[in-house]
Amino acid sequence: ALTAGIVGLPNVGKSTLFNAITQAGALSANYPFATIDPNVGIVEVPDSRLEKLTELVNPKKTVPTAFEFTDIAGIVKGASKGEGLGNQFLSHIRQVDAICHVVRAFEDENITHVSGQVDPITDIETINLELILADLETVSKRMDRVAKMARQKDKEAVAEYAVLEKLKDALEEETPARAVEFSSDQEKIVKGLHLLTSKPILYVANVSEDEIGEADNDRVKQIREFAAKENAEVIVVCAKIESEIAELDNEEKEEFLEDLGIEESGLDQLIKATYNLLGLATYFTAGEQEVRAWTFKEGMTAPQAAGIIHTDFERGFIRAETVSYDDLVDAGSMAVARDRGRVRLEGKEYLVKDGDVIHFRFNV
């Protein structure tokens, strides 16, 4: 399964945020064993469409979908001491599919900041530099390998060498690989390098309790400005409040948010943004027994998406009876949607879309 890693300097609020994540997951009836690996937190994906479908179909139960966050700081702390912590940090980042970079944007004189003052851009750059240096090493090593072939005018080697040179120049100027533009052929070469700074990233600005629902403070503004250069999203949270919210049930949570004057908790925003960042999307099954959200990777075909439910569904796939969420809600029932010709019979090549409500037909 795809996972997003939580990174950041010490004392920025990572553990507090991760506790909120695991707490939220642990309260869920669907993931009672979510804490087998203490560094992995399973979160349910908040999705109002699921509630609406439940109203329409009135099933016996409703099951949201979920995905994983990995607490990279936690892994580093608990890791054996054979290797430098720096190397371990990097090797753990290598294993995640996206990065949530937590940046301290709260003021609290009682909590020491590692470099003595709270400066979000320096903080971001401190971590990013580690990743950039690691990528530079990867790129340089690869250049040594392909140089000879490139000199002999081997076509593929020449193409790869050009990409590597461009990457090297960018990284040397502390530009992450994700911010470098390449043609689609070149993108494939870049992908093969598995660079750390190619991984999709978002920034989490951790603000104080009294700043929830307020206008951005200067630090948040700075973080937004920085992130914009990488086309990265910024999610503003107060980790401390999130860890309190995570202990509430749904009703209490709604009241609490209302008191704060916000519609959606920072954690819920983070969950949704990270889900998108990972390239994940949701389709639904909606039967009398169960209405359920399923996570698929964007670009999956109908049989592949069916395989997420059960391998038999993929192997024996015949057709996907599909209606978009909007069409179904518009129609008010499956029967009306069908009458209106909104229910399509999709075949093996169909690329599943976010919000599709699907009934798979298959042979056993």
Annotated binding-site residue numbers for ATP: 11-16
Distance CA 222, CA 239 (A): 19
CB of 266 to ligand GDP, least distance (A): 10
Which member of 73, 234, 302, 331 binds ligand GDP (CB under 6 A)? Answer: 73
The answer to whether residue 8 forms part of the interface with ligand GDP (CB under 6 A) is yes
In angstroms, rounded to a whole number, what is the distance separating the alpha carbons of residues 275 and 303? 22
3 or 208: CB nearest ligand GDP: 208
Q: Which range in 24-32, 232-240, 332-340, 345-353 contacts ligand GDP by CB under 6 A?
A: 232-240
240 binds ligand GDP (CB under 6 A): yes
d(CA 7, CA 98) in angstroms, rounded, equals 10
CA distance 201 to 198: 9
Is residue 120 a contact point for ligand GDP (CB under 6 A)?
no
For position 11 contacting ligand GDP by CB under 6 A, the verdict is: yes
User: In what order do the strands lie in the sheet containing 280-286?
Assistant: 61-63, 290-297, 280-286, 356-362, 317-324, 344-346
192 near ligand GDP (CB under 6 A): no
d(Cα 151, Cα 173) in Å, to the nearest integer?
26
Give 204's Cβ-side CA count (13 Å radius).
30
Tokens of residue 265, six digits: 């908790």
**3-class SS at 37?**
coil
Binding span for ligand GDP by CB under 6 A among 11-19, 34-42, 88-96, 140-148: 11-19
**13 vs 176, which CB is nearer to ligand GDP?**
13
Q: Mention every residue, 6+ apart, whose C-beta is less than 8 A from residue 184.
A: none
Output the smallest distance, CB 48 to ligand GDP, in A.
27
Asked whether position 206 contacts ligand GDP by CB under 6 A, the answer is yes
Nearer to ligand GDP among residue 14 and residue 49 (C-beta) = 14
Helix (H, G, I), strand (E, B) or coil at 306: helix
Q: Is 14 in the site for ligand GDP (CB under 6 A)?
A: yes
Length of the chain: 364
CB of 84 to ligand GDP, least distance (A): 19
Q: Rule CB under 6 A: is residue 13 a binding residue for ligand GDP?
A: yes
Least gap, CB of 346 to ligand GDP (angstroms): 46
- Is residue 323 within 8 A of residue 344, CB to CB? The reply is yes
Catalog residues that contact ligand GDP under the rule CB under 6 A: 8, 10-16, 73, 106, 108, 111, 206, 208-209, 238-240
